[in-house]
Amino acid sequence: MRIDLLELTGKTQTHLVQYDNVLVHQLAVGPLHALKQRAQSAGFELSIASGFRSFERQMFIWNNKFDGLRPVYSYEGKELDVNVLSVFERISAIMLFSALPGASRHHWGSDFDVYAKNLTSDAKPLQLTPAEYFHGDQAPFSLWLAEELKGSDFYFPYREFQGGVAEEPWHISFHPVASRYEQIMSINHVIEAIANTDVRGKEEIISHLPNLYAKFISNTCKFSS
């Protein structure tokens, strides 16, 4: 599998194909479809809330959070006032739940936020919160998914909180593809991706990137077959 560095940072879509109304890495389509069929047999309509996300889209999300136009939450779920935080505190708070543009696993087309559509309703729309998956409407699907992924090529990169990104029981990754991107991801590639962009807090990000990289980017739960 040959990788264009633009794939790594969400600046191209040449490695992707359409599946289930989202863009997916071409090598992940078959396994993802098979997982969806197994979910259906178990009574769940597995749907993708988020698949591929471009650099531009991730930057839009990031900048809105940095500027206080989208809510930023603490680990305990309390909404923060970003205007009273230092630039570095603001960056760290955002990275608890949102990836830095150029460093998102969603750039690769190998990672997906999934849910059971038949467990949602107009009265109870999807929230993508840990409580929803541990104790709420998505809990039956979450329990099934955790058991189903054992021994498969899919896994949870944010299965538990390790001091960086908060746990995301909805986020699954196709290891045969994601691992290839992980092997070539580096601090220098992230710097190159954001250097000539309008990413908010860019100078502070670059100056603290070794620490941010170790805490939030490379600090994932490891795959076990």
Domain around 174: 5-217
In a domain, 225, yes or no: no
Asked whether residue 223 is assigned to any structural domain, the reply reads: no
Per-residue pLDDT tens over the stretch 154-190:
999 999 999 999 999 999 999 999 999 999 999 999 9
> CA nearest 216: which of 73, 96, 90?
96
Mean pLDDT of the chain: 97
Work out how many domains the chain is built from and give that number.
Answer: 1
β-partners of residue 46 are 116
Whether 124 is covered by a domain: the verdict is yes
Q: Is residue 130 part of a domain?
A: yes
Range 51-58 average pLDDT: 98
131 domain residue, yes or no = yes
Q: Would you state the pLDDT for residue 22? A: 96
Q: How far apart are CA 38 and CA 55, in angstroms?
A: 32
Has residue 203 got a pLDDT over 70?
yes
Which residue, 28, 51, 43, is CA-closest to 117? 43
- How far is it, in rounded angstroms, from Cα 184 to Cα 92? 24
Residue 222 maps to a domain: no
CATH code of the domain containing 41: 3.30.1380.10
Strands 111-116 and 22-25: unpaired
Is residue 224 domain-resident?
Answer: no
Note whether residue 52 is domain-resident: yes
> What would the mean pLDDT of 4-32 be, rounded to a whole number?
96
pLDDT grade for 1, boundaries at 50, 70 and 90: low
Residue 111, token pair as written in the block: 């990672």
The yes-or-no verdict on residue 2 having pLDDT over 80 is no
**pLDDT over 90 (residue 219):** yes
Q: What tens digit of pLDDT does each residue of 86-102 get? A: 999 999 999 999 999 99
pTM above 0.85, yes or no: yes
- Is residue 202 over pLDDT 80? yes
94-113: burial string, b at 16+ Cβ within 10 Å, e else:
bbbbbbbbbbbbbbbbbbbb
> Which residues make Cβ contacts (< 8 Å) with residue 197, sequence separation at least 6?
55, 59, 101
